[in-house]
A and B are shown apart, each in its own frame.
Chain A
Amino acid sequence: MSNDIERMLAAAADDTDQPLHTDIDDILTRGRRSVRNSRITIAATAALTTLAILGGVSVWTKSLSTGTEPAGPTGITITKDGLAIDRETGETAAPPPPVSPVSDAEAISRCAPSDKQELEFGNGRNTWDTAGPIDNRWQVLLKSGDQNLLYAVFMAPDRSVVASCTMESPDQHIRSDRLSTRTLDGAKEPQVVSAQRMIPVPGVTRVLIGTDTGATREALVGRDGYFTLGYAGNHDQGPSFRRIRGYDATGKRVYEWKYVPPTQPASKPIPAGIKIITVPPITPKVVFLKDPQTGKPLMPVPVSPESDDRIRTRCRTIDEANPPGPAQEQRNRDAGLITPSWKVVLKTGTGTDFTALLVAPRKNVVAWCHMYDKTSYDYARSTVPATGNFGIQHHWGQVPAGVAQIIVDLPTGPVRALISNGYFIWGLTGGNDDFKTVRIRGFDANGTKVYDAKHDVDSDLSGR
């Protein structure tokens, strides 16, 4: 039978009638750009973040209203049949899905096997998920369905993880997932909220969902603000949500989320006159040879013996092979190819291998250039954000104000970063990236710690 399965799979995957639309050169280009753009984007992102702080927050507060409002026209009215009428439109929302008649214990029993698989399968990816598989210690937050269909949501005993499962029948699993109740790195809200599973406002008793089909449906609301439109069977995926509104027991709207179609952020171009602002050098009274906190010896980062001219010449060859294209920012295009006018502000490495930073004559573009084994390279150009400061990036950083010495706690041991012209680097970054979250500490001239933060940086300094 396995042979039959193999034969059927091979037949199902037969793609002779499926033309390939991929050009391998495009993949190569995407690969190169993914390296370059990810780095270029760092600067652009910093600029956009600044804009978002100025202009984006108002959009967010409009789309997410967590304050109390007059019940009036934004509330709901409940009919004698228990249906919710949306006072905004006068429309009666479709009723919520039924509460499942199965017991909590039965829901846990049905869902446990698939949750265990999901947990095992997701192992290694979700480092935040340490709650273990669902069992009878987990709380059932919500269960919808009938004797066969089931959608259930469970809360871990330590309240760190919410697991959900969808079943077609008592032993036919459709899907499971596990979400963090916390706001994960880089997110704006708890994962369970961004996944549209719960409303982060206390006291919500009814939830209306506007769907992509234009319908307004009432969700089933469970404990702690968790809600669902249920599972309709036959692998139904349910609609996409366009609007979520939460109401308190009096029918007053206390929460609203609206879908905002993704649009290209209208980024204001940063004027070419914005220059990189570097802090003046500070000479430490005592150079650390050991970590002042742990006593571990600090690995020094060598200055590259390559001459500045040689660095410019070698980095220019990459520029020539990958000239800034139309997709790149104007300032980057204006900076043109590396010329003798570009200043090598930082260079580390041994022999002919190096990682260097070069600054354009207008002091608004930085080229990060990694050369290894004569012909291998890694390269990115970044335009300065509106703040004039790149901060600490994946492969290099700008020295924070007041800092004379920097220690980077790499997995291989602490490193005393090389500081030059207001920039710093912790080794031969580039090549095979191995990003790790590391602690970076800065010390003033007297050796007092004045900066301490974690950053995701390239920790593989082999250069390969």
Chain B
Amino acid sequence: MRVRDDAEFTEFAAMMIRPLRRTAYLMCGDWHRAEDAAQDALVKVYRRWDRIERREGVKSYAHRAVVTSVLDQARKPWRRERPDDPDEAARVVPDIGGSVDNRLMVIKALAQLPPGQRACVVLRYYNDLSVEETAVVLNVSQGNVKSQTSRGLDRLRELLGHTERSAS
């Protein structure tokens, strides 16, 4: 990393930390892990700042890094994923009008998707990435993105519909 780039990176990191954390949260359902993942992603970006700017776009790389960080966390046997136990902090937030319940419902539903489907749905429908961009971020084919997104959406609809019916 170069002295001249530090200022640019700082600006980029300040702009991206919250979006990356939000993406990570949708992926893992835990704000603390999400913040860790966002930090890790930005450190990776820092290490590759010049190269990624040239080659594939720094935002795309940052998204890839954060998704990878979340998935890597989940794959480690000592870091067990607890999709049914979303972040405690989110649970204790005062809930006026049931919005927190709805949010947790979505997080729970996302957690039930396989990682590939979850990543595709989040990147496509939260981060608003195109199929091509999502394929680059996830290092999979565009066809794979389309099929995983489609399956993920179907499953999410099913889960959210089912949950809503159960709650009523």
Contact = CB atoms under 8 A, between A and B. Distances in A.
Interface of A: 1-2, 5-6, 8-15, 17-18, 20-22, 24-28, 30-32, 34-35, 114, 117-118, 120-121, 123-125, 172-177, 195-196, 234-235, 237-238, 240, 372-373, 375-378, 431-434, 464
A248 B17 CA distance: 53
A120 B6 CA distance: 36
A8 B47 contact: no
Contact of B125 (A9, A238, A432): A9
Contacts of A175: 114-115
Given A114-B114, A117-B116, A121-B116, A376 B3 contact: yes
Nearest to A5: B125
Interface residues of B, number: 68
Nearest to A30: B43
B28 to A, nearest CB: 12
A23 to B, nearest CB: 10
Contacts of B58: none
A113 B12 CA distance: 39
Contacts of A8: 102, 106, 160
Interface in B115-168: 115-117, 119, 121-122, 125-126, 128, 138-141, 144, 148, 153, 156-157, 160
B23 A31 contact: no
Contact of B43 (A6, A31, A176, A195): A31
B35 A12 contact: no
List 9 tightest A-B contacts by C-beta distance, closest first.
A31-B46, A376-B2, A12-B106, A13-B22, A121-B116, A9-B126, A432-B51, A237-B80, A12-B103
A434 B80 CA distance: 32
B117 A117 contact: yes
Interface in B1-15: 1-6, 9-10, 13-14
Nearest to B80: A237
Contacts of A6: 125-126, 128
Interface of B: 1-6, 9-10, 13-14, 17-18, 21-23, 25-26, 31, 35, 38-39, 42-43, 46-48, 50-51, 75, 77-78, 80-84, 89-90, 93, 99, 102-104, 106-107, 110-112, 114-117, 119, 121-122, 125-126, 128, 138-141, 144, 148, 153, 156-157, 160
Contact of B21 (A1, A20, A172): A20
A186 B93 CA distance: 44
A1 B48 contact: no
Given A15-B25, A21-B35, A175-B114, A375 B3 contact: yes
8 contacts: A1-B157, A8-B102, A8-B106, A24-B13, A30-B43, A118-B114, A235-B84, A240-B80
Contacts of B6: 28
Given A13-B26, A28-B13, A433 B157 contact: no
B38 to A, nearest CB: 7
A375 B102 contact: no
Nearest to A3: B125
Contact of A13 (B25, B38, B81, B157): B25
Given A5-B121, A240-B78, A15 B1 contact: no
Nearest to A175: B114
Nearest to B111: A235
Contacts of A196: 77
Contacts of A372: 2
Contacts of A34: 43, 46-47
Contacts of A377: 2-3
Contacts of B47: 31, 34-35, 433
A294 B14 CA distance: 51
A229 to B, nearest CB: 13
Nearest to A176: B114
Contacts of B80: 237-238, 240
Nearest to A237: B80
B16 to A, nearest CB: 10
Contact of A28 (B10, B50, B110, B119): B10
A28 B87 CA distance: 27
A5 B6 CA distance: 37
A216 B4 CA distance: 58
A121 B140 contact: yes
